[in-house]
């Protein structure tokens, strides 16, 4: 696994049980972890979502959104 893949994997590993990802169907936490390990097409989408999340976090856009919607 490369560093980005490891980061995503460990972030999902820390998610509570019952957490799911919806992409045309529900993917359980365990299924998401398997897709991350496999680095397949589903991983590509998860990776894109994670990158957008981290970019929003880093830029302050996420904090701004949260403040505006409290």
Q: According to the model, what pLDDT value does residue 35 have?
A: 97
Q: According to the model, what pLDDT value does residue 4 have?
A: 96
Work out the number of other CB atoms within 10 angstroms of the CB of residue 13.
11
Q: According to the model, what pLDDT value does residue 15 have?
A: 95
Query: Domain map of the chain by residue range?
Result: 3-68
**Helix or strand (DSSP H, E) at 57:** helix 41-59
End-to-end CA, the chain: 38
61 to each of 11, 25, 44, how far by Cα in Å? 20, 29, 23
**Two structure tokens written together for 7:** 């980061």
Virtual CA dihedral for 16, 14, 11, 70, nearest 10 degrees? 50
pTM for this model (two decimals): 0.84
pLDDT tens by residue, 11-52: 999 999 999 999 999 999 999 999 999 999 999 999 999 999
pLDDT-derived band at 6, boundaries 50, 70, 90:
very high
């Amino acid at each position: 696994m490369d560093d980005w893949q490891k980061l995503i994997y460990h972030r999902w590993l820390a998610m509570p049980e019952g957490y799911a990802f919806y992409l045309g169907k529900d993917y359980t936490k365990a299924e998401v972890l398997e897709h991350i390990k496999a680095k397949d097409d589903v991983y590509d989408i998860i990776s894109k979502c994670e990158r957008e999340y981290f970019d929003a976090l880093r830029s302050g856009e996420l904090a701004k959104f949260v403040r505006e919607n409290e």
